Amino acid sequence: MSDVTMVEAIRLTLAWAMREDPAVLLLGEDIGKDGGVFRATDGLLARFGPERVLDTPLAEAGIAGVSVGLAAQSFRPVVEIQFMGFAYATLDQMLNHAARMRTRTRGRLTCPMVLRTPCGGGIHAPEHHSESGEACFANVPGLRVVVPSSPMRAYGLLLAAIRDPDPVVFLEPARLYRSAREPVADDGTASALDRCFVLREGADVTLVGWGGLVPDMLDAAERLAGENVAAEVIDAATLVPLDMETILASVAKTGRCVICHEAPLTGGFGAEIAARLAGPGLLSLLAPVERVTGYDTIMPLPRLEDAYIPGTKRILAAVRRAMRHG
């Protein structure tokens, strides 16, 4: 076990998966010789060769389409799209083919592919490089959508995604790539997909979020403890299928919920969680559900990026509003 960053954990996962299964292939722009735009695949070309680490043309739709074909023929392609804003070009292949392969063939074929891409802001990159488009993929039946929040979570969830028989969209918060280190056991142990992770227990308010905002939620919870407010922190991790049972159980205990994500408010995945709380969780609520999100605008890069991205300050304000009720 060693202390690694998230990007190092991803590299460890890819190497383990490739050693474990010769059907695992890597495809993407500049992932071979250059090791990827964030160096997540650095050194893997030398270890596994050009037949398994494939540099592709700058053609995201083509990369996805080739990967769907490979997956249908029993390979396990892991695709890297350089930035989330470029992943929209893959939607035709992911929506019309990857997601439908199992039902289209009545189970005769599956599509065991993973589409990896950095997401979110925090690195002061140009336009198209700071998107949080998880809701776009979450609306596609047949796709799993996974967002890790730490090196350990990235290792376990990516390994599970690669082993999954169906397509997974794996969104990696770019600002977490090198922001922290933690011990990760490179032992091939996968984390469970399709479940939330309770990172901190509390009795007064439930904080739900994923990816880049999880560290902010934990920071907010620590500060709230000084105000005698016990916040339960839930990392949603797998958005589709969503482990709503864990969230409902938490809200039944706390009576309050603050949902946090970086994507814009309108149509964000937080609205789906709020809507589900309005059903079986309605009678547990002591206060209106709060959402702490990005704004309904293109991220104003680069100078106003920090003002756009939600953080601890806005989470604390939402919790304090919720605590006025009940």
Q: Where are the domains of the chain?
A: 2-184, 197-323
The angle subtended at Cα 188 by Cα 184 and Cα 192, nearest 5°, is 85
Q: Do 260 and 293 form a contact (C-beta atoms < 8 A)?
A: yes
R_g of the chain, CA atoms, integer Å: 19
Look at residue 303 and tell me whether its pLDDT is greater than 90. no
| Cβ burial 97-128 (10 Å sphere, 16+ → b, else e) | bbbbbbeeeeeeebbbbbbbbbbbbbbebeee
Q: What is the pLDDT of residues 80-91, one digit of tens each?
A: 999 999 999 999
- CA distances in angstroms from 253 to 147, 194, 231, 234, 279, listed in the order given: 26, 22, 11, 13, 16
As a whole number, mean pLDDT of residues 262-281 equals 97
Average pLDDT, the chain: 97
Catalytic residue among 97, 124, 128, 129: 129
| pLDDT more than 90, % of the chain | 95
Q: Do 6 and 170 form a contact (C-beta atoms < 8 A)?
A: no
The dotted CATH code for 197-323 is 3.40.50.920
| pLDDT more than 70, % of the chain | 100
Q: Which pTM value belongs to this model? A: 0.97
As a whole number, mean pLDDT of residues 178-203 equals 97
The residues, ordered by sequence, that sit 6+ positions from 141 with a Cβ below 8 Å of its Cβ are 99
Residue 1 has a pLDDT of: 81
Q: Is 261 a catalytic residue?
A: no
Q: Do 3 and 182 form a contact (C-beta atoms < 8 A)?
A: yes
Which one, of 212, 244, 213, 249, lies nearest residue 232 by Cα?
249
CATH architecture assignment, domain 2-184: 3-Layer(aba) Sandwich (3.40)
Q: What is the pLDDT of residues 313-326, one digit of tens each?
A: 999 999 999 999 97
Q: What is the pLDDT of residues 54-79, one digit of tens each?
A: 999 999 999 999 999 999 999 999 99
Q: Do domains 2-184 and 197-323 have the same CATH topology?
A: yes
Higher-pLDDT residue of 302 and 250 is 250
Identify the band that residue 217 occupies on the pLDDT scale cut at 50, 70 and 90. very high
